């Protein structure tokens, strides 16, 4: 996964090096040296902080749990990124996710740098009291590098507003008398969190898809019909059609994106499949997404796994293997689970013509190349799943101003921000042969390169 980000950043730098209109004042050998500096800066983190959290458990055992905080780049502002609670966390993954945050914030013009955190554990294996202690210990161990103007964590996989509330409270106790509201985002509303933060990533995932296949295609149809761009042909194929959608992952991101698709009045969507860690549920006539969302809220986030459970909530669905969601004959596949889900060994079985990355890096480099060569439109993570960090920025602002937006205001601001990004990258995407991911990375690298050059950090 880490090589994918580095490779695409390097391709972007190579393209910009040859583009004389970019940083035209930097020429000759000076230009080559500057771009060599950019490669080094953007491919490595500023800091990697590691520790082992000493946790006394309720059974009187003591464990030491590995934890990380990676700070990739802060040229655009304080480091920003979630803390992942998951057993698959490792240093390479956290470094890659931190670099992705740097690029994501640059793409969407959010004044933050890139950071990321991780704790290697399965939260289902710990009691609430133990998780509370783990959250507090994380802040204690990394308090010197965290803060509202230094590094601002947020929820990620396995963590949520509960953990952010605990962590902010611990930060407040460690830093008495200092500003604390902006030290963590993704908090509960009563603790200074923003309305709409939990739903923001899922809503953004659906919005990017809807804007591309509905708003942009409708408004730019004359442009798309004149180009021989293979992705333009794919987009036009979806105009004014009833679309079938499958969603992998039914957590905060996938369930919200599925619900948005189910309720959308802009497109004739039919969510025919959803999945989680246990099961895929399928109905060719469309699933009752609101009923499934309500069930997961009462059952620790899990979808129904048996006929009796489906019957109890009145949902008609076939129960299939959890990975089958990837290979269904649908128009759209939304990936909102883990990284590396579509790879070289299974990519040829993927039938969807549009894929939306709600998760980070769910498609490997080899699979990405294969699908793009087939004309499949991939709306990449850097573009599609930025709703969370954008609304985290709004939360950070609200905490500093102690004035809070309504939920409607938050979502309107979110859509405006994402629309501005889409209006920048989509014309380029449909006007040249680069996949959308490459276009997004080029835009991010341009922004970062310009700022780093103006700050005198390339010499």
Answer with the one of 142, 167, 195 that is the final residue of a domain: 195
Answer with the one of 351, 385, 419 that is the final residue of a domain: 385
Same domain, 207 and 130: no
Is residue 23, in this structure, part of any structural domain at all? no
Task: List 114's β-bridge partners, or say none.
Answer: 73
Same domain, 212 and 278: yes
Same domain, 85 and 202: no
CA distances from 311 to 271, 295, 304, 305, 419 (A): 19, 12, 10, 11, 41
What is the C-alpha to C-alpha distance for residues 417 and 196, in angstroms, rounded to an integer? 15
The residue with tokens 């069930």 is 295
Joined together, the tokens standing for residue 196 give 């709409």
Is residue 415, in this structure, part of any structural domain at all? no
Task: List 53's β-bridge partners, or say none.
Answer: 65
Same domain, 378 and 259: yes
Same domain, 99 and 170: yes
Task: List 243's β-bridge partners, or say none.
Answer: 269
Is residue 459, in this structure, part of any structural domain at all? no
The candidate with the shortest Cα–Cα distance to 441, out of 391, 389, 378, is 378
CATH number, residue 249: 3.40.50.720
Same domain, 308 and 353: yes
Number of domains making up the chain: 2
Same domain, 285 and 237: yes
3-state helix/strand/coil string of 152-182: EEEECCCCCHHHHHHHHHHHHHHCCCCCCHH
pLDDT at position 2, please? Answer: 52
What is the C-alpha to C-alpha distance for residues 431 and 442, in angstroms, rounded to an integer? 14
Q: Give mean pLDDT in consecutive 10-residue pieces for the chain, a chain of 459 residues.
A: 73 90 93 94 96 96 98 97 96 93 96 98 96 98 97 94 97 93 94 93 96 90 84 84 94 96 88 97 97 94 95 96 97 94 97 96 93 94 95 93 90 96 92 84 95 92
Is residue 380, in this structure, part of any structural domain at all? yes
Is residue 9, in this structure, part of any structural domain at all? no
- Cβ(345)–Cβ(225) below 8 Å: no
Same domain, 186 and 203: no
Q: Are strands 332-335 and 242-248 parallel, antiparallel or unpaired?
A: parallel
Q: Can you give the residue range of the structural domain that contains 205?
A: 198-385
Q: What's the order of all strands across the beta sheet hosting 318-320?
A: 318-320, 280-282, 268-275, 242-248, 332-335, 354-357, 377-379
Answer with the one of 144, 172, 195 that is the final residue of a domain: 195
The candidate with the shortest Cα–Cα distance to 98, out of 84, 85, 109, is 84
Same domain, 317 and 256: yes
What is the Cα gyration radius of the chain?
22
Same domain, 190 and 228: no
Is residue 4, in this structure, part of any structural domain at all? no
Is residue 418, in this structure, part of any structural domain at all? no
CA distances from 43 to 9, 36, 37, 110, 399 (A): 8, 11, 10, 20, 32
Same domain, 237 and 301: yes
CA distances from 113 to 108, 201, 308, 386, 452 (A): 12, 18, 48, 13, 12
pLDDT at position 227, please? Answer: 85
Is residue 402, in this structure, part of any structural domain at all? no
CATH number, residue 182: 3.40.50.10860
Q: 268: helix, coil or strand?
A: strand
What is the C-alpha to C-alpha distance for residues 95 and 306, in angstroms, rounded to an integer? 39
For the stretch 426-449, pLDDT in tens is 988 887 767 899 999 999 999 999
The residue with tokens 């133990």 is 130
pLDDT at position 235, please? Answer: 87
The candidate with the shortest Cα–Cα distance to 430, out of 208, 236, 242, is 236
User: How many CB atoms lie under 10 A from the CB of residue 251?
Assistant: 20
In the DSSP assignment, the letter for residue 215 is: I
Active site residues: 116
Joined together, the tokens standing for residue 182 give 């902006």
Same domain, 262 and 207: yes
């Amino acid at each position: 996964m880490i090589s994918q980000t580095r490779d695409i950043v390097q391709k972007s730098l190579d393209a910009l090096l040859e583009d004389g209109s970019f940083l035209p004042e930097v020429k000759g050998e000076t230009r080559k040296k500057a771009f060599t500096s950019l490669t080094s800066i953007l491919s490595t983190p500023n800091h990697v902080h590691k520790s082992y959290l000493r946790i006394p458990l309720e059974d009187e055992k003591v464990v030491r749990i590995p934890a990380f905080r990676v700070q990739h780049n802060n040229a655009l502002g304080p480091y920003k990124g979630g803390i992942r609670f998951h057993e698959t966390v490792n240093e390479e993954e956290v470094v890659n996710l931190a670099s992705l945050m740097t690029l994501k914030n640059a793409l969407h013009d959010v004044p933050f740098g890139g950071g990321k955190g991780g704790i290697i554990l399965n939260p289902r294996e710990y009691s609430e009291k133990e998780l509370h202690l783990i959250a507090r210990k994380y802040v204690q161990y990394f308090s010197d590098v965290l803060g509202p103007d230094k590094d601002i964590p947020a929820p990620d996989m396995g963590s949520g507003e509960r953990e952010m509330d605990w962590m902010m409270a611990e930060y407040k106790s460690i830093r008495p008398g200092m500003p604390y509201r902006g030290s963590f985002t993704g908090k509960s509303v009563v603790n200074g969190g923003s309305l709409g933060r939990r739903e923001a990533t899922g809503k953004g995932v659906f919005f990017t898809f809807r804007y591309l296949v509905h708003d942009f295609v409708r408004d730019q149809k004359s442009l798309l019909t004149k180009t021989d761009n293979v992705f333009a042909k794919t987009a036009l194929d979806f105009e004014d059609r009833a679309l079938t959608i499958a969603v992998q992952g039914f957590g905060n991101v996938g369930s919200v994106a599925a619900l948005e698709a189910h309720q959308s009045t802009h497109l004739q969507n039919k969510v025919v499949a959803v999945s989680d860690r246990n099961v895929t549920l399928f109905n060719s006539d469309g699933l009752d997404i609101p009923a499934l969302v309500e069930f997961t809220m009462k059952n620790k986030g899990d979808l129904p796994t048996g006929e009796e459970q489906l019957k109890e909530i009145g949902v008609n669905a076939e129960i299939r293997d959890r990975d089958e969601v990837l290979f269904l004959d649908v128009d759209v596949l939304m990936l909102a689970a883990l990284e590396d889900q579509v790879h070289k060994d299974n990519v040829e079985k993927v039938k969807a013509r549009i894929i939306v990355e709600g998760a980070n890096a769910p498609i490997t480099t080899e699979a990405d190349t294969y699908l793009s060569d087939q004309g499949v439109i991939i709306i990449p993570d850097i573009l599609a799943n930025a709703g969370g960090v954008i609304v985290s920025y709004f939360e950070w602002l609200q905490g500093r101003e102690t004035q809070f937006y309504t939920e409607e205001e938050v979502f309107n601001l979110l859509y405006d921000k994402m629309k501005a990004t889409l209006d920048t990258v989509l014309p380029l995407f449909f006007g040249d042969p680069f996949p959308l991911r490459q276009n997004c990375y080029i835009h991010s690298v341009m922004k970062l390169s310009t700022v780093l050059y103006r700050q005198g950090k390339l010499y």
